[in-house]
């Protein structure tokens, strides 16, 4: 499929491979995730004016006060979500432009994704069609509520910083499943891995990150 971005030298397969090598050097060790990061054309998910910067290790604006996370952050969160295991059913909170959704779509059997901003969801649907992701079900809604009719989920990934873990999402996590989210703790944000066991939940705090806040409702 040809696009208006297709002639840009900075968006070539070689550029994606350089990004993958950088991610590997930054400590991303999940080769399955790295392979998918090398396949999905990130430049198609950002505004054309920013396409030449799509493979730099930076977040980029999407409009509406939202951003696409840096490649490292996407790779790190995806690796934590996988935990070295095949993914079945995944819930994503914060579809954004659909890039993380596309990565998950290549790794999981089913992806369910909720976006609170309708214009962004429209963009995400178009982007996912363009890269032929057909196993993702997108919804305009309140991510804090989750998607109870599709639960339980083997993994839940939240692409915005929470001050607490929403109870509804904890309940929708399968036993043996894991939730990855940025948590705002005092004056910093850290990635957290929450695992559900038959006995309850455990939480592990990881890297420092920077995300937009997790907001209720729709817009």
Contacts of 112 (CB under 8 A, 6+ apart): 89, 90, 91, 92, 136, 137, 139, 147, 150, 153
The answer to whether residue 151 sits within a structural domain is: yes
Whether residue 80 contacts residue 107, with contact meaning beta carbons closer than 8 Å, is answered with: no
The answer to whether residue 121 sits within a structural domain is: yes
Each residue of 144-172: pLDDT tens digit?
999 999 999 999 999 999 999 999 999 99
**Under the phi-then-psi rule, with left for phi > 0, alpha for psi from -120 to 50, and beta for the rest, what region is 96?**
left
Prediction pTM value: 0.92
The answer to whether residue 218 sits within a structural domain is: no
Rounded distance between C-alpha atoms, residue 114 and residue 96, angstroms: 9
The sign of the torsion formed by the CA atoms of 10, 12, 13, 14 equals: negative
The answer to whether residue 134 sits within a structural domain is: yes
Each residue of 170-196: pLDDT tens digit?
999 999 999 999 999 888 999 999 999
The answer to whether residue 216 sits within a structural domain is: no
Annotated catalytic, 12? no
Q: Of 4, 12, 59, 69, which is the active-site residue?
A: 69
- Residue 126 lies in domain: 9-209
CATH number at residue 140: 3.40.50.150
User: Could you tell me how far CA 123 lies from the centroid of its own chain?
Assistant: 15
The answer to whether residue 14 sits within a structural domain is: yes
In the chain, the number of structural domains is 1
């Amino acid at each position: 499929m040809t696009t208006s971005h297709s002639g840009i030298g900075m968006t070539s397969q070689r550029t994606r491979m350089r990004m993958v090598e950088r991610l590997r050097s930054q400590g991303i060790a999940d080769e399955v995730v790295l392979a998918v990061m090398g396949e999905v054309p990130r430049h198609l998910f950002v505004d054309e004016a920013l396409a030449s910067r799509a493979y730099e290790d930076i977040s980029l604006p999407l409009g509406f006060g939202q951003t696409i996370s840096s490649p490292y952050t996407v790779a790190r969160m995806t690796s934590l979500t996988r935990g070295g295991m095949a993914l079945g059913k995944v819930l994503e909170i914060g579809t954004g432009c659909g890039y993380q959704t596309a990565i998950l779509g290549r790794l999981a059997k089913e992806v369910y994704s909720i976006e609170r901003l309708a214009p962004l969801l429209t963009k995400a649907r178009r982007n996912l069609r363009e890269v032929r992701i057909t196993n993702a079900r997108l919804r305009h809604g309140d991510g804090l509520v989750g998607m109870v009719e599709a639960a339980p989920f083997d993994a839940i990934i939240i692409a915005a910083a929470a001050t607490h873990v929403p109870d509804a999402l904890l309940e929708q996590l399968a036993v043996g499943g894991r939730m990855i989210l940025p948590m705002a703790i005092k004056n910093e944000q850290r990635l957290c891995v929450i695992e559900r066991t038959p006995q309850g939940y455990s939480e592990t705090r990881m890297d420092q990150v920077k995300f937009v806040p997790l907001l209720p409702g729709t817009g």
